Amino acid sequence: MPRRTDIESILIIGAGPIVIGHLVDYTGPTSDVGKPYGQGAADALAYINKNGGIAGRPLQVDMVDYSYNAPRAIATYKKWIGSDKIVAAQGWGTADTEALNTIVEALTGGNAPAASADSPPSTQATS
């Protein structure tokens, strides 16, 4: 897959909403915690939009219940990076995150600007 090179220009120069994707588990095996997590994310995104969005641009969120089904997560992600042109995606669990790693690595050359809850803090000094 070709690497996206337009992310920065979309965020900085673009007009209109910033499109992001969010995978949630409302109906699958982790829905007992997926439902409140998804609602919390929806509430946070609504708060951001209510308070001016990001740099004056609202967030447009495609929240998809993928039922903790990794193949469904991959199909959704491919749609997002194909026709929907998202600039960010938030996964839900280990199954989808691990399944999506190969796609993200291919798009970013192994330098994905992403983090997860179990990512260690950066040890690189910044200038």
- Residue-wise pLDDT tens digits, 23-68: 999 999 999 999 999 999 999 999 999 999 988 889 999 999 999 9
Average pLDDT of the chain to the nearest whole number: 79
Q: In this structure, are residues 7 and 111 in contact, taking their beta carbons and an 8 Å threshold?
A: no
- pTM to 2 decimal places: 0.69
State how far the Cα of 67 lies from the Cα of 44, in Å rounded to an integer: 22
| Residues in a beta bridge with 64 | 23
CA-wise closest residue to 68 among 49, 50, 95: 95
Q: Flag whether pLDDT at 120 surpasses 60.
A: no
Q: Flag whether pLDDT at 122 surpasses 50.
A: no
Residue scoring higher pLDDT (116 or 61): 61
Q: Flag whether pLDDT at 6 surpasses 50.
A: yes
Residue scoring higher pLDDT (10 or 31): 31
